[in-house]
Amino acid sequence: MQLVRSWLNKITIERIQLELMNTAYGSGHASLSRLDPRCLLIWYLFFAIVPWFISNLTVLAGMFLMMVVTTILSRVTPFIILVLCLGLIGQVGWLFILSLFFGGDISSALPLLKLTLKLSVVSLASITVFSGMDPEKISDGLLALGMPAAFSFSLSYGYRILPVLFEEFRNVLLSYRLRGKAPEEPGVMYWRMAAYYLKLLVLSFFPLMLATAKRSRTTVEALETRGFSYGMKNPAAKKLKLAHLKVSTRDIMFLSGSAVYVSLLFWISGRL
Amino acid sequence: MHNTATESDLAVRLTDVTFVYPGSEEPVLKGASLAIERGSFTAIIGGNGCGKSTLCKLFNGLIPHYYVGDFSGEVEICGQPANTQNVAELSRMVGYVYQDFDNQLVRPTVLDEAMFAPLNYGLPDYRVMGLQALEMCGLTHLQDRYIWELSGGQKHLLALAGALSLSPDILVVDEPVSQLDPQHARQVYEVLRSLNEHYGKTVIVIEHHTEFIADYCKEVCLMENGQVLWQLPVADGLNRLDDLARLSIQPPEVTQAAVHLSSLLRKENGAASHDQQDWPEDADGRGLSSPPESAKCMPGLHPDNAPRLGQDEVRYPVTTDEAVAYFSGMLGGRADLPGAHSSSEASGGHSRPGSRLTESGPEDAQARPIVEFKQARLSYRTIRRAEREVLRGINLSLYEGERIALVGNNGAGKSSLLRLIAGIAKPSAGAVEVMGEDTKHQSIEQLSSHVSYVFQNPEDMFIEDNVYKEVAHCLKSRAYPDAEQRISQMLESFRLESLKDRDARLLSGGQQRRVSLAIGAAVLPHLILLDEPTANLDLATREELLGTLQDLEGFVRTVVIATHDMQLVQQWATRVIVLTDGTVAGDGSAADIFADHHLISRAGLAPTQIMDTASRLDLHLTGSTPAEFAQLVHAILTGKEVPHHAACPQLA
Amino acid sequence: MANQSNLYTLTSSQKMMIFVLSMSLYGLSNMFTELIPALQLGPIELSVEYFAFIPLTLCMLFHPVYAAVGASVGEVIFGELMLGQFGGLGELEKFLTFSFAMYVAGRMVRDPLNRRQVGIAAMTGVIIHQLCSALVDIGKVWIGVEEFEAVPGLAPSVVIVEGVSFLNDVLFSGTLFALLPTLYLVPRLYGKIEPLLGIKPRVKSTKYESAGVITPKVVITGIVLAVVAFVAESLSETDWNFGEWDSGFEDRFGVGAIWLSLAAAAVIAAITIIIMRARAEKRSRNSGDAPHA
């Protein structure tokens, strides 16, 4: 609780915004972000699915190691790692207690360790790809792999609009605070404070909905004037948009390197 | 309105267009007709709700293709009928930049944004087109930046580049000035001018800042009640003073000054039974006809007698250049004479601020400061994990009863200073004390009963669904015993009683501003902080705001305003604090600060037309209003100011 | 908009507006709810599951399909991709059940000013979503664990776990973050938010263009996707949930292993916090450090 409390005290909307923006945009120089997005997405698909079917500890540990390396290479912010770790503590700890409760014993520890490893591999793979890659590239990659144009646009639009939304949210929240009354006593476990902020959080969405509605209208109108809906129906536009995607030697090396490494893991595990 | 130009010379031609928005009874456009030639730079002006924006949405087919209302009439764009083409096709000929341009930008980086439209159209050289558009707008060096790294002015230019990327012939820009500070607004207009002159674009702006129209546009077009009333060359249009007055559009400052001066001279002449030929000779050589027959020159007083454009048309200057020529013509050879020493007398009728400063100003040793900055520093972390220091060691004391104007260019730290006082931000080093207590140990909620912070954008303050509830919110949530009484007092003082059941978001700019001030004043704070209260206001609303500020004084003793508006500073402040680059560069009375031209330019402040004209004429004007200017010139002309008035034969 | 007939037809831009609105708002809220820590009281977890009131409100006021899909997309983009928590294929199931539940809730309301209707619809929406998730979860275990019946106590415990979490989510999240805010927002926003989008507020007699929305193609795609998601999800969970529960795995690492992995995660978290704090202090304090939840 102490951890959470001090963590809470450390958190500000500004800080969260900053960290998220860093995650989203700060990856321009990461070595992985130069790879072809389609290759990275295929790579991700492998590491998002395959670990679930593997129960061999060596292979999982090896994959975990690899994910740690790629995560470091993609220069993810500490904040994301923190969220991941807290999530793992919650999820796995809870499962462990549950397993004891339902008649499990120490023997369930190993499966749970494996579970932790699997979860970590999948999460780190997703962090590597989705946090380490420029949102533009993700959306191009998804478009190339056949996702609807509206989705891939929404993705990059989401990144564009996030700072604006945060700014607006901050102002609204500030308005409530400047004109509201915080509880005088924090209450047991800060529950009064938590309730106060939760209430503000919910209330904030009333003005926010109206403001966002106003904005959406301009945005969609502007999209119309710039040929967006025209481009959605136009295959030439999509082709043009994706023309810059090229599979280079680097991509092939990355994919084959990964493949060799994974096969090596299986080979080693088979020998053990 | 139909001129003789052939079809192909016309960029836009509207014939008898009527339009009703879906769900609305009243038509927005009622038989509007307009013809705009290729290559022109046209301003569209008109009162609120006269259909300006609706008119412009005809050009790119948003009406009637996008807003499916009741539409009749004909629209031709570049000689082709608009009703047979859809928005996508028309948009290749017409670029549109919205008033809230920030919401128009949909891509994360600058170059992406510029290439967006050509990409959607599937044009193979989209990259070149995007780069070209950036080049036109002077943004090439920023092409790899993210949108949120840009300043407001740069964002506007980018919206412009986005609209230009398809190289349309026509560019429509909706109120470019309203969301920008004066410096950036001018930058945007410079780009528009070069687009018009060098690239041959037809530029159409919706604008109510007549100074900008005078400086940049060639043609002006007035709308009233859904119709185009007239379309004239700028100098003629802006001299239609009665029409402008009726629609509460303020003519340029120099025009006002000239009008004022001629009315003063007329009184004089009338009193002295002077003949009207006694006006100074036409010496400007700029095609301006000589100053008017006095009977025609007082539109403010006798709108019916205002100048008509005809054979013997009367023209006042509209730009600074014209004004300099006009007034120096009148002043003859004496323009370089110092009128400074006694000019305060000339403006003696105008109540000069400043008295309070001496009563309870900082010199008063007994006064306890309300706010004290002790070596306060503030830094923000930016996205690239770099630290940016916005305030670098501020030492300041603000005292009760002061009216403080905080000036400086964008990024100088004005807003940050206000946020430190309100406790929204805490100093990263040093301390800020409000009412003797360090803000570090107080929450926003606690501080806000002493300090009210009024946002730059009033809409950010609206959290309820009607005006009454907005004003009541704070009083009720904090359970003030006299809440009801205070609310009705506020509603009355800020003239909001008739609006109290309306949604504040749907009010006009000036009304919104009043609501925001009422919200701020409701808790009867010791100190109220206003961030850019005159931004986005048209000039009539701005005048109204000055009145509201007076009302505010009934409730709050100390007011701090962060502003770009030099006129507001002149008219209102008792103390001016100039910030440059996070430090205090000047602190004194308005007169002191404005006398220091070096400081003004260093702080990046934009002088008003009147200030500019006065300095170019070498007149040492202490005030800044057109009236003060006219009084000064009048005093010089009538010899009250200058010892050797004999040099002016006409008036001797 | 062709309002003359009361058929609720929208131009494609209006659909896009609703989509964008719903996506941004629900996406933003999702970022917050992902970050709000859960309060755990034994097996009962008081967590802010989601701000369901946002899509519920929008579905009731606007065309429910676009609002519902927009919200789901928003969740994927803001709540998961941006936070690096994207679960890949498993998200498909959530996407479908959530959109479906919100859509149904929106369709249930005929008169947005009728509080009872709004309340019932809001709760129904949450219940449908939670029920679907619970059933899917139970089904996954059922299919996923080969000897489901053979494992003693597994079936009831799964049902109990899912049942408790279902009740939790419906009673806690459902009431506080779906029912109450929706009741507060829908009547207040009705007639106010629609004009901002240039849409005429819906009235009692408003009918949706049902044919255009639910085509056989959509239904079939939905079913296929649901099956794929279900299979993918159950396959993925086969192993870790209960697969090796009682297999008597050799106790090579013992209980220490799990504590070790937990400790490792905790240590990393602690180190990260310390580093962040050290950096923050080095750079002197950031602006606006007042605590937010």
B253-294 pLDDT tens trace: 899 999 998 888 888 776 654 444 333 433 333 334 444 433
A52-91 pLDDT tens trace: 777 778 888 888 888 888 888 777 767 677 767 776 666 5
Cβ separation of B98 and A207 shorter than 8 Å? no
Cβ separation of A213 and C20 shorter than 8 Å? no
Is the ipTM here above 0.90? no
Strand B429-434 to strand B437-438: parallel, antiparallel, or no bridges (unpaired)? antiparallel
The domain boundary residue, chosen from C243, C262, C278: C243
**Residue type at A126?**
S
Q: H-helix or E-strand containing A210? A: helix A191-225
Percent of chain C with pLDDT over 70: 53
Counting Cα atoms < 13 Å in the Cβ hemisphere of A127 gives: 29
**CA distances, A182 to each of A13, A195, A242, B445 (Å):** 17, 10, 52, 6
Q: What is the mean pLDDT of residues C259-270?
A: 54
Domain-embedded: residue B409:
yes
Higher pLDDT, C208 or C265: C208
The domain boundary residue, chosen from C225, C243, C261: C243
Domain-embedded: residue C248:
no
Burial class (CB in 10 A: 0-12, 13-18, 19+), B158: buried
Q: Residues B95, B101, B106, B112: what is their CA dihedral angle, to the nearest 10 degrees?
A: 60
User: Which residues make Cβ contacts (< 8 Å) with residue B131, sequence separation at least 6?
Assistant: B111, B114, B140, B143
Indicate the DSSP class of residue C290: -
Same domain, C282 and C148: no
Q: Where along chain A do its domains lie?
A: 13-147+247-272, 148-233
Chain A: residue whose CA lies nearest to C292:
A12
Q: What is the mean pLDDT of residues A210-235?
A: 86
Residues of B in contact with C190 (CB under 8 A): none
User: Which residues make Cβ contacts (< 8 Å) with residue B341, sequence separation at least 6?
Assistant: B620
Contact, A217 vs C17, CB < 8 A? Answer: yes
Nearest-Cα distance to chain A for B587, in Å, is: 29
Query: Of A114, A193, A209, which to mutate for an interface test with C (greatest number of C Cβ within 10 Å)?
Result: A209
Q: What are phi and psi of C236, to 5 degrees?
A: -65, -30
Cβ separation of A104 and C272 shorter than 8 Å? no
Same domain, C97 and C117: yes
Residues of A in contact with B425 (CB under 8 A): none
Nearest-Cα distance to chain A for C53, in Å, is: 9
Alpha-carbon gap, residue B92 to A227, rounded angstroms: 9
Q: What is the mean pLDDT of residues C87-96?
A: 71
Contact, B558 vs B574, CB < 8 A? Answer: no
Cβ separation of B426 and C195 shorter than 8 Å? no
* pLDDT tops 60 at residue C212: no
Domain range holding B148?
7-246
Percent of chain A with pLDDT over 90: 3
Contact, B103 vs B156, CB < 8 A? Answer: no
* pLDDT tops 90 at residue C53: yes
Nearest-Cα distance to chain A for B307, in Å, is: 41
Residues of C in contact with B22 (CB under 8 A): 1, 3, 198, 200
- The CA-based angle B207-B213-B216, given to 5 degrees, is 125
- pLDDT score for B146: 84
* Out of C29, C77, C244, closest to residue A111 by CB: C244
Q: DSSP for B192-245?
A: HHHHHHHS--EEEEE---HHHHHHH-SEEEEEETTEEEEEEEHHHHTT-HHHHH
Same domain, C276 and C172: no
Structurally, how many domains does chain B consist of? 3
The domain boundary residue, chosen from B537, B553, B588: B588
**CA distances, B549 to each of B427, B516, B534, C93, C195 (Å):** 29, 12, 11, 58, 33
- pLDDT score for C248: 33
Higher pLDDT, B121 or A189: B121
* pLDDT tops 70 at residue C96: yes
- pLDDT score for B449: 86
Nearest-Cα distance to chain B for C113, in Å, is: 16
Q: What is the largest CA-CA distance in chain B?
A: 77
Q: Is C289 on the interface with B (CB under 8 A)?
A: yes
Q: Is B425 on the interface with C (CB under 8 A)?
A: yes
Q: Is B481 on the interface with C (CB under 8 A)?
A: no
Same domain, B448 and B300: no
Alpha-carbon gap, residue B413 to B407, rounded angstroms: 9
What phi-psi label fits residue B576: left (phi over 0), alpha (psi between -120 and 50 degrees) or beta?
beta
Chain B: residue whose CA lies nearest to C13:
B66
Nearest-Cα distance to chain C for A250, in Å, is: 24
- The CA-based angle C71-C66-C198, given to 5 degrees, is 110
pLDDT, chain C, mean:
70
**Location of structure tokens 């109510």:** B208
Chain C: residue whose CA lies nearest to B62:
C13
Alpha-carbon gap, residue B67 to B580, rounded angstroms: 47
Q: What is the mean pLDDT of residues A10-39?
A: 68
Same domain, C275 and C198: no
Question: What CATH number should be reported for the domain holding residue C16?
Answer: 1.10.1760.20
Cβ separation of A216 and C290 shorter than 8 Å? no
Alpha-carbon gap, residue B228 to B16, rounded angstroms: 10
Same domain, C194 and C262: no
Residue ranges, chain B, pLDDT below 70: 1-8, 23, 270-314, 333-367, 382-385, 536-541, 622-623, 640-652
Residues of C in contact with A78 (CB under 8 A): 272, 275-276
Cβ separation of B105 and A160 shorter than 8 Å? yes
- pLDDT score for B643: 40
Chain B: residue whose CA lies nearest to A236:
B122
Same domain, C206 and C128: yes
Domain-embedded: residue C64:
yes
Domain-embedded: residue B237:
yes
pTM: 0.78
Same domain, C169 and C212: yes
Cβ separation of B463 and A240 shorter than 8 Å? no
Q: Is B147 on the interface with C (CB under 8 A)?
A: no
Nearest-Cα distance to chain A for B577, in Å, is: 25
Same domain, B93 and B242: yes
Higher pLDDT, C275 or B561: B561
Question: What CATH number should be reported for the domain holding residue B124?
Answer: 3.40.50.300
Same domain, B408 and B308: no
- pLDDT score for A47: 84
Same domain, B166 and B72: yes
Domain range holding C283?
253-293
Chain A: residue whose CA lies nearest to C279:
A78
Nearest-Å Rg of the Cα atoms of chain B is 26
Same domain, B302 and B406: no
* Out of B68, B387, B425, closest to residue C283 by CB: B387
Q: What is the mean pLDDT of residues C64-79?
A: 89
Percent of chain C with pLDDT over 90: 15
> Is residue C281 very low, low, confident or very high in pLDDT (cuts 50, 70, 90)?
low
Residues of A in contact with C19 (CB under 8 A): 150, 154
* Out of A8, A173, A205, closest to residue C54 by CB: A205
Same domain, B148 and B291: no
Residues of A in contact with B460 (CB under 8 A): 168, 171-172, 175
Same domain, B241 and B272: no
Structurally, how many domains does chain C consist of? 2
Same domain, B562 and B629: no
- pLDDT score for A155: 84
Contact, B164 vs B133, CB < 8 A? Answer: yes
- pLDDT score for A163: 84
C101-142 pLDDT tens trace: 998 898 888 888 889 999 999 999 998 898 888 887 777 666
Cβ separation of C11 and B66 shorter than 8 Å? yes
- pLDDT score for C76: 86
Cβ separation of C290 and B443 shorter than 8 Å? yes
